[in-house]
A and B are shown apart, each in its own frame.
Chain A
Amino acid sequence: MIVAAALCPAPPLLARELTGGDAVLPELREACGEAIRRLLRAEPETIAVVGAAAETGLWDPASRLDLSVFAPVARGPAGTPELPSSLGLGALLLDQAGYAGRRILQAVGQDEPAAACVELGERLARPAERIALLVMADGSARRSRRAPGHLDERSAGFDAAVEHAIRSGDLGALAAVDPALARELMATGRPAWQVLSGAMRALRPAADVLYAGDPFGVAYLVASLSTALP
């Protein structure tokens, strides 16, 4: 059963080592840290990190982000270069919060149809143990003229709808996000949102949004989702 969830974006700059001399968005890292702390308060036996990747599949839970794929001179413990960065950043957030319990690293394919994502979420929720989800997902990367994908006027409405679904606990709405539109808007989080939908929509969780913004033209949303479960 799912006891709680945290939603965090997955920009590489979450790793402090990658932003050089300037901390860049410490408030984003702090919000993510707070979301993880709340996740741990639900006393999960397992945390499942869910993030979009080239293909759906499970990764070795011992895998860690390899900073050198972004910054060849970065110093730090060796990671797994092939690990999807969404999962690597999720693993980093768990490490930073001191979480040493059981974890699952679940990649979900960027082109996975919505129904398959939802089904994957249902499967993750099925075991009787207490499971928390850490969903690493970004909104549109076309939010401004300086954005990675330049400005697409549709991105604001698209991301607002996702944020509304999270805030209102109406996770069923996430299952209806159009994959084709998400791809056009460079919203890489779409499959992970839909896994979250499959895992938690029946619970209608209460959400607390800890950060919402697009300082680099990509929509970041940090939220803590709690359930009425004991």
Chain B
Amino acid sequence: MSEPVQQAVLRLGTRSFEPRERLVMAIVNRTPDSFYRPGATWDEGAAMDRVHQVVAEGADIIDIGGVPAAPGTAVDTSEEIRRTAGFIAAVRGAYPDVVISCDTWRHEVGRAVCAAGTDLINDSWGGWDSKLAEVAAEFGAGIVCAHVGTQEPRTRPFRVSYPDVMADVLEQTLALADRAVAAGVDPSRVVIDPAHDFGKNTWHSLEVTRRLAEMTATGWPVLVSLSNKDFIGETLNAPPEGRLVGTLAATAICAWQGARIFRVHQVRETRQVLDMVSAIRGDIPPARAVRALG
């Protein structure tokens, strides 16, 4: 493997983040049918309440999505825009400096949500719509470059296999990052994501977790989306509501290996884990240290 490349400043919206900062991206689903607590923030008032809560709990980024990852009821472009753009404008109005991300794979949606104040396009279907990066460039937004193998949006992986899953992750995400920069996206606003569970079985997701340092060694900021996912459920034989501890364990492992953004449902618990990892690494001091010092 080549020499690790140092991580640099990550810019999102008006904010700049040093490599030692570990960021919490809070999930706010504008859907009635996502896998975790379906419909909890389908109502716009409930969604805004959640934004207030996650900001208070220490979220750095709000990730708003209008379409669940799993197959199901079709959501067309106009419906996706209807679910997300107006709400994003409202969040922007309430929090001028919070980083807003939008989880979408469609460039038409990207355009509408960037106009409404989105700072980061979370292209979780791995560049399926190549025009999305152009939209990010046009609006000065950032983009997440995710690995999905050969999966199309809203499909499930079926008997996927890889001679070397991390090699495939690196090849796809780095190609997408290069493509985004070529399209004009500011390189300091490009993030890569191994996309746990997408195009992967549980063994593959465990492997990319174990080998995450190979991604962080590229120098690109790494986002991980682990929260309550099936690979954790299968590992611990736990239903969606029983996966928090497993999520936090995986979070710590990824943080230790240099991941910088953590897309989660549970903000307070994640913030604590990340602060603990940061303190162990020596990146932040303890909140209060008096033990044996008095």
Contact = CB atoms under 8 A, between A and B. Distances in A.
Interface of A: 11-12, 18, 20, 22, 69-74, 81, 85, 141, 145, 147-150, 186
Given A85-B161, A150-B71, A150-B72, A70 B203 contact: yes
A72 B165 CA distance: 8
A16 to B, nearest CB: 14
Contacts of B164: 72
Given A70-B204, A148-B155, 18 more contacts: A20-B202, A20-B235, A22-B237, A69-B161, A69-B162, A72-B204, A73-B206, A73-B207, A74-B203, A81-B163, A141-B158, A145-B72, A147-B156, A148-B159, A149-B71, A149-B158, A150-B71, A186-B158
B72 A72 contact: no
B201 A70 contact: yes
A81 B203 CA distance: 16
> Nearest 7 A-B pairs (CB), nearest first?
A71-B203, A150-B71, A69-B161, A148-B158, A72-B207, A81-B163, A148-B156
B234 interface: yes
Contacts of B235: 20
- For chain B, the bracket of interface size reads 20 to 34
Contact of B234 (A11, A20, A72, A81): A20
Interface string B175-207: 000000000000000000000000001111011
17 contacts: A12-B159, A20-B235, A69-B162, A70-B203, A72-B164, A72-B165, A72-B203, A72-B204, A73-B203, A73-B206, A73-B207, A74-B203, A81-B163, A85-B159, A85-B161, A148-B157, A150-B71
A182 B21 CA distance: 51
B148 to A, nearest CB: 15
Contacts of A74: 203
Contacts of A150: 71-72, 156
Nearest to B154: A150
Interface in B117-163: 155-159, 161-163
A20 to B, nearest CB: 7
A12 B204 CA distance: 14
Contacts of B156: 147-150
A73 B211 CA distance: 12
Contacts of A22: 237
B203 A18 contact: yes
A88 to B, nearest CB: 10
Nearest to A74: B203
B48 to A, nearest CB: 31
Nearest to A148: B158
A74 B155 CA distance: 26
Nearest to B161: A69
B163 A69 contact: yes
A5 to B, nearest CB: 23
A82 to B, nearest CB: 8
